[in-house]
A = this chain, B = another copy of it.
Amino acid sequence: MVSTINISSKKMFTEFHRILLSRGFTEENALRCAQIFTNNSIDGIYSHGVNRFATFIKMVDDGYVKPNNTPSLKSKHAGIEQWDGNLGAGPLNAMFATDIAITLSQQYGIGCVALSNTNHWMRGGAYGWHAAKKGFVFIGWTNTIANMPAWGAVDNRLGNNPLVLAVPFNNEAIVLDMAMSQYSFGSMELAKMKDEKLLVNGGYDTSGQLTNNPSEIIASKRALPIGYWKGAGLSLLLDILATILSGGSSTQEISKNKIEAGLSQVFIAIDISRLGNNSSISNLIDNIITDYHQSVTGDEKNKILFPGERVLQTRKNNLANGIPVIKNIWEEILQL
């Protein structure tokens, strides 16, 4: 039984801000970074919000994340730019790159920023929400350390390389944020802690059989790609693209260091206000979602949700009642 406490978003933000300042972040960077970690938690993405904050601070303390390094331009050609993240804080670099991609898209219709030498962006969906709330289409992805085998292999040479697609919708957004593994190791650790089985098979046990027992997958370190060979293939292509477009490190190179640092990421924005059908776009999306919501389920209570839809309710609840945090995790943060 895992014991949780509710922490107000204001309290959480204040603690994060205090800790970031204590690690040498400038006031502005501390505010921005605390806000991203708090927002991820408000939205219910605890694994890349409050649950990951102490790990992030350790990366700062160990010198892998440079608090006040900012990206520098490496090369540009009209709508595409390459930036070096200079090992700055991943969430700050990613938000910076998203904003540059948006600016490029305003000029060129579509803009692409490829970012090398950056760090874990935490919740990729944060950048999708950011761009889509401003009215832009967003497509982005990151590579990661090797944490998934190729299809048919037993050793991990692929990252789970999360992919984010986002579109504006009803002053909010539809945001898909998906890693190429069926489950993240973070969510498997959580299921293990709660003594729960996974809903579907999430990887292999140490004898090579597919299993939904998170403990066995954590022991074998063999997570399952979504769609078996398909997710493995998509992961490989996302790594190749992030690496060549940014001129940065591949999953293989990142993995040599055993520490997940110096990642490669891609941020694409599209300015849909420049399209000839701009005025009808919200209707087009509305029609698709209305139909999607009419999906027939075997069970009346089981409403079909679009990616990101649950977030709105979670956000409302967490803002009203505080963010549920595992007690040990919060106590650890207070000690930082």
Residue pair A277, B237 in contact (C-beta under 8 Å): no
Interface on chain A toward B: helix, strand, loop, or mixed SS? mixed
The docked-state distance in angstroms from the alpha carbon of A75 to that of B243 is 33
B-contacting 9-mer, from A91-99, A297-305, A328-336? A297-305
The docked-state distance in angstroms from the alpha carbon of A157 to that of B288 is 9
- Select A154's contact among B152, B157, B238, B297, beta carbons within 8 Å: B297
Residue pair B295, A165 in contact (C-beta under 8 Å): no
Residue pair B233, A178 in contact (C-beta under 8 Å): yes
Residue pair A226, B237 in contact (C-beta under 8 Å): no
Copies, count:
2
Chain A contact-residue range equals 35 or more
> A240 in the interface, Cβ–Cβ < 8 Å?
yes
Chain B residues with Cβ below 8 Å from A295 are: 149-150, 152-153, 155, 157
Residue pair B234, A230 in contact (C-beta under 8 Å): no
The docked-state distance in angstroms from the alpha carbon of A284 to that of B248 is 9
Chain B residues with Cβ below 8 Å from A253 are: 287
> A208 in the interface, Cβ–Cβ < 8 Å?
yes
B-contacting 9-mer, from A10-18, A30-38, A77-85? A77-85
Binary B-proximity of A86-127 (CB < 8 A = 1, otherwise 0): 000000000000000000000111111010000000000000
Cross-chain pairs A/B with CB under 8 angstroms, 16 sampled: A80-B108, A80-B270, A110-B110, A114-B275, A152-B304, A153-B297, A153-B304, A174-B236, A178-B233, A226-B231, A236-B288, A243-B288, A244-B272, A244-B281, A247-B284, A268-B268
